[in-house]
């Protein structure tokens, strides 16, 4: 990550594990930019890691080539993870994807438009994790410092750990937490604002 961000890089504590079931295509993660969800500062990078072989039939991830150059794009309501999708009609670029093998990692900027592809394997789960990285000197959204989904507290998670070596690792940094800024969700057809999210 130092190649992408320089020195003093940290991992966000809120990490995501994804289980994608076969044939549940209506809930496939829609096209989106991670910045909408993580905020803090735009120079955050995601590492998407499949936890096993991920041939095209298992879905994987698709990226809209060059989309990181277009800034923050409008969003509209959608099914799937996050509940919104990035509107890409005005973005030139090709959707690209590849089969993934165990050990592969895909890194992309928080402005990169990407989407999950449907798992059409018929009988296999697609497992993956998302890790996000940023410079410690940059602002960080306060809510990425709590467990993803906020169903558990860090105390709940750490309760049975044998060692405290990696607990609250982000406390070692002089961070600048900032609140999440609401983003306007628009109607997909008319672009009329619907709500703040």
**What are 76-103's pLDDT values in tens digits?**
999 888 889 999 988 889 999 999 999 9
Please report whether residue 194 resides in a domain. Answer: no
167-188 pLDDT, tens per residue? Answer: 999 999 999 999 999 999 999 9
Please report whether residue 123 resides in a domain. Answer: yes
Please report whether residue 195 resides in a domain. Answer: no
Specify whether the CB–CB gap between 97 and 108 falls below 8 A.
no
141 burial class (0-12, 13-18, 19+ CB within 10 angstroms)? buried
> Which residue has better confidence, 149 or 176?
176
Strands 126-135 and 9-11: antiparallel
Please report whether residue 91 resides in a domain. Answer: yes
Residue 148 pLDDT greater than 90, yes or no: no
Q: How confident is the model at residue 118 (pLDDT cuts 50, 70, 90)?
A: very high
pLDDT at 101: 94
pLDDT at 150: 78
Specify whether the CB–CB gap between 108 and 49 falls below 8 A.
no
Whose structure tokens read 């059409």? 120
Please report whether residue 197 resides in a domain. Answer: no
Give the chain's count of helices (H) and strands (E).
3, 15
Average pLDDT score over residue span 113-133: 94
Average pLDDT score over residue span 27-43: 92
Q: Please, what is the average pLDDT of the chain? A: 93
Of 4, 7, 18, which Cα lies nearest the Cα of 148? Answer: 18
Please report whether residue 189 resides in a domain. Answer: no
Average pLDDT score over residue span 108-113: 97
Please report whether residue 110 resides in a domain. Answer: yes
How distant is the alpha carbon of residue 91 from its chain centre? Answer: 20
Q: How confident is the model at residue 192 (pLDDT cuts 50, 70, 90)?
A: very high
125 burial class (0-12, 13-18, 19+ CB within 10 angstroms)? middle
Its domain, for residue 64, covers 2-184
CATH at residue 116: 2.60.120.620
């Amino acid at each position: 990550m130092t190649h992408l961000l320089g020195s003093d890089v940290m991992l966000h504590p809120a990490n995501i594990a994804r289980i994608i079931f076969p044939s549940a295509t209506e809930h496939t993660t829609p096209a989106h930019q991670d910045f909408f969800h993580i905020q803090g500062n735009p120079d955050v990078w995601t590492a998407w890691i499949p936890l096993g072989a991920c041939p095209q039939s298992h879905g994987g991830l698709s990226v809209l080539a060059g989309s990181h150059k277009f800034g923050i794009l409008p969003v509209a309501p959608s099914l799937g993870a996050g509940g919104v999708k990035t509107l890409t009609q005005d973005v030139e670029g090709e959707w690209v994807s590849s089969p993934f093998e165990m050990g592969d990692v895909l890194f992309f900027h928080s402005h990169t438009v990407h989407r999950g592809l449907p798992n059409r394997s018929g009988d296999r789960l697609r497992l993956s994790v998302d890790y996000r990285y940023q410079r410690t000197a940059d602002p960080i959204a306060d809510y990425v410092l709590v467990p993803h989904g906020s169903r558990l507290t860090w105390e709940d998670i750490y309760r049975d750990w044998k060692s405290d070596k990696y607990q609250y690792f982000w406390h070692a940094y002089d961070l600048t937490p900032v609140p999440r800024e609401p983003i306007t969700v628009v109607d997909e057809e008319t672009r009329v604002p619907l709500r703040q999210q």
